[in-house]
Chains A and B, each alone.
Chain A
């Protein structure tokens, strides 16, 4: 909304932007990052969705409209851009505690202790890429700062990554810098997290965990790279929770951990990997980043046929995802992800199924009632929600407008091939777990991990160094 107002002001037309009280800070910060720190915001007091019609009228007449008049008529001074530091400037010197305190005060830390980003440590990371340090990978909204090789390394140091993770970190940033990733919306109230899925031989090379405890903090590669992406979004995209203002995730989710697929299990099954389903070769090292809103409960499925397991996966994974289908249908996008343990996958594969059959089965058998869609859409704030209009515009298939019965069942997913399937977790247990995804905000974006020319030599030295310790 603020983005549209800034475009209009640039075109020479004064604007007033209606903003509810709780979003004034985010709107101001967004406007500032677009060069209009003084953009006219007209406050509506309180939580719009919780007000009676009488309260709504009173608030509009006595607060909102006077604010609109003020914004459209009262002259405002232009903002002034503040000079900033250069990337390589030493900004502080102190002990470990002092550095951490400094970064906390500047809101450059996520609250956990950081490794001090000294020039020497940053340069150690830069040895693991053939890119130049000042190379720009993109501009990250909402704060519109440049993502560079240098600041990837700086934040990698801070997050506790090893220097040899650098090629992975670069690929992760390349993914979130893609315009289609919609990083600008990462501060929305649903509070999604950027989930990284890793494929390829590098999983073993860098010691990623892909078996028991795949989502647990506890293995350095999974945990520190998971920490890195949120730290990077905080520092370069400006997505900070209070006392920052750009991240309005109402509750949010916890610590990120990279999900690495069990490539050996995939090969044993004779299936495609997550990345090969997305068009990559099995020998490619690939990261995919997508939004994750929540996980399902642990899904225990049992039996010796594919259908035994699929029934439970539809019930729990499909059922959980169906609660968020109202947003997916409105945008015509939905990319949920299901992690299936190798033991469950073996039973399904034994009946001749592949990942494609799993996707198709989940798609065909997971339904949601139109009444539920409309109820949840209203409650989140989609006060205009017309399935017939969405079908007419081609956003969703005609299946959503086949009758007027509010209790009719419609597909909970948009396309079968958009349901991600990853093999991972405890090979000795019959468990799966899924992620609900946030429609067109952070759909899966995959990037090949580009290794430096002397990778084998560098990694060899690292291994020798580890062994010596």
Chain B
């Protein structure tokens, strides 16, 4: 006797994301303004100064805006902080953002 077979359906759900276009990259990081975003963990307070120092050596005039200006991106008010980012970054004329730290 042959084994029965089963026609089965998909256990997942419809994916809801829409493709987000990548922004143009920056040809030269000299003299740009970098906004820093952070949740304050994983030795961020040690890593960021080193990142700033190393980048500043290679790219004269590069400026950094501290993450505290924009709020904790994974804190108690995450939703509000993240929603306000576009406007806050525009106000500070930010050209690029460094986000951290995923660990």
Checking A13, A65, A231 against B23 with a beta-carbon cut-off of 8 angstroms, the contacting residue is A13
Known A-B contacts A2-B102, A147-B13; the reply to A96 vs B6 at CB < 8 A is yes
Q: Which residues of A contact B13 (CB under 8 A)?
A: 87, 140, 145-148, 151, 235-236
CB pair A80–B19 under 8 Å, yes or no, is yes
Checking A35, A90, A148 against B9 with a beta-carbon cut-off of 8 angstroms, the contacting residue is A90
CB pair A68–B42 under 8 Å, yes or no, is no
Cβ of A445 to closest chain B Cβ, rounded Å: 17
**Within the assembled complex, what's the spacing in Å between the Cα atoms of A374 and B102?**
21
Q: Which residues of A contact B102 (CB under 8 A)?
A: 1-2, 17-20, 23, 26-27, 41
A139 adjacent to chain B (CB < 8 Å):
yes
Cβ of B78 to closest chain A Cβ, rounded Å: 8
> Which residues in chain A, 76-98, are within 8 Å of chain B measured between CB atoms?
76-81, 84-96, 98
- What's the dominant secondary structure at chain A's contact region? mixed
Contact with A along B81-103 (1 / 0, CB 8 A): 01101100110001111111111
CB pair B47–A56 under 8 Å, yes or no, is yes
CB pair A383–B46 under 8 Å, yes or no, is yes
Q: Which residues of A contact B17 (CB under 8 A)?
A: 32-35, 81, 144
CB pair B7–A44 under 8 Å, yes or no, is no
A308 adjacent to chain B (CB < 8 Å):
no
Which bucket holds chain A's interface residue count? 35 or more
Q: Which residues of B contact A87 (CB under 8 A)?
A: 9-10, 13-14
CB pair B25–A78 under 8 Å, yes or no, is no
**Within the assembled complex, what's the spacing in Å between the Cα atoms of A378 and B11?**
40
A48 adjacent to chain B (CB < 8 Å):
yes
Known A-B contacts A13-B89, A33-B15, A381-B41; the reply to A89 vs B9 at CB < 8 A is yes
Q: Which residues of B contact A4 (CB under 8 A)?
A: 37, 73-74, 82, 85, 99
CB pair A16–B96 under 8 Å, yes or no, is yes
Cβ of A71 to closest chain B Cβ, rounded Å: 8
Among residues of B, the one whose C-beta sits closest to the C-beta of A138 is: B13
CB pair B23–A383 under 8 Å, yes or no, is no
Spot the interface stretch: A115-123, A257-265, A349-357, A446-454: A115-123
Known A-B contacts A20-B102, A38-B22, A75-B24; the reply to A13 vs B41 at CB < 8 A is no
CB pair A93–B8 under 8 Å, yes or no, is yes
**Within the assembled complex, what's the spacing in Å between the Cα atoms of A84 and B10?**
10
A154 adjacent to chain B (CB < 8 Å):
yes
Checking A8, A19, A99 against B86 with a beta-carbon cut-off of 8 angstroms, the contacting residue is A8
Known A-B contacts A99-B6, A145-B13; the reply to A53 vs B46 at CB < 8 A is yes
**Within the assembled complex, what's the spacing in Å between the Cα atoms of A395 and B43?**
22
Known A-B contacts A3-B82, A383-B44; the reply to A44 vs B96 at CB < 8 A is no
> Which of A17, A26, A74, A81 counts the most chain B CB atoms within 10 A?
A17
**Within the assembled complex, what's the spacing in Å between the Cα atoms of A140 and B13?**
9
CB pair A73–B26 under 8 Å, yes or no, is yes
Q: Which residues of A contact B97 (CB under 8 A)?
A: 5, 8, 13-16
A193 adjacent to chain B (CB < 8 Å):
no
Contact with A along B57-83 (1 / 0, CB 8 A): 010000000000000011010000011
CB pair A158–B11 under 8 Å, yes or no, is yes
Known A-B contacts A8-B85, A19-B103; the reply to A93 vs B6 at CB < 8 A is yes
Q: Which residues of B contact A2 (CB under 8 A)?
A: 99, 102
Known A-B contacts A8-B37, A13-B97; the reply to A90 vs B26 at CB < 8 A is no
**Within the assembled complex, what's the spacing in Å between the Cα atoms of A38 and B21?**
10
Q: Which residues of B contact A72 (CB under 8 A)?
A: 25-26, 29, 96
**Within the assembled complex, what's the spacing in Å between the Cα atoms of A39 and B101?**
15
> Which of A8, A53, A81, A89 counts the most chain B CB atoms within 10 A?
A8
Among residues of B, the one whose C-beta sits closest to the C-beta of A68 is: B98
Q: Which residues of A contact B94 (CB under 8 A)?
A: 13
CB pair B40–A383 under 8 Å, yes or no, is yes
Known A-B contacts A4-B73, A87-B13, A154-B10; the reply to A64 vs B25 at CB < 8 A is no
Cβ of B17 to closest chain A Cβ, rounded Å: 4
CB pair A74–B23 under 8 Å, yes or no, is no
CB pair A331–B76 under 8 Å, yes or no, is yes
**Within the assembled complex, what's the spacing in Å between the Cα atoms of A10 and B86?**
9
B20 adjacent to chain A (CB < 8 Å):
yes
Q: Which residues of A contact B95 (CB under 8 A)?
A: 13-14
Among residues of B, the one whose C-beta sits closest to the C-beta of A80 is: B19
Q: Which residues of A contact B41 (CB under 8 A)?
A: 381-384
**Within the assembled complex, what's the spacing in Å between the Cα atoms of A16 and B17?**
21
A6 adjacent to chain B (CB < 8 Å):
yes
CB pair B54–A60 under 8 Å, yes or no, is yes
Sample of 7 more A-B contacts, CB < 8 Å, known A11-B85, A75-B25, A93-B5 = A1-B74, A4-B82, A5-B37, A36-B22, A85-B10, A95-B3, A158-B11
28 A-B pairs (CB sep. < 8 Å): A1-B99, A9-B20, A13-B35, A13-B89, A14-B22, A14-B23, A14-B25, A14-B95, A15-B99, A16-B96, A16-B99, A19-B102, A38-B22, A53-B46, A56-B47, A65-B55, A68-B51, A68-B98, A84-B12, A86-B10, A93-B5, A95-B4, A96-B3, A140-B13, A145-B13, A145-B16, A148-B14, A383-B43
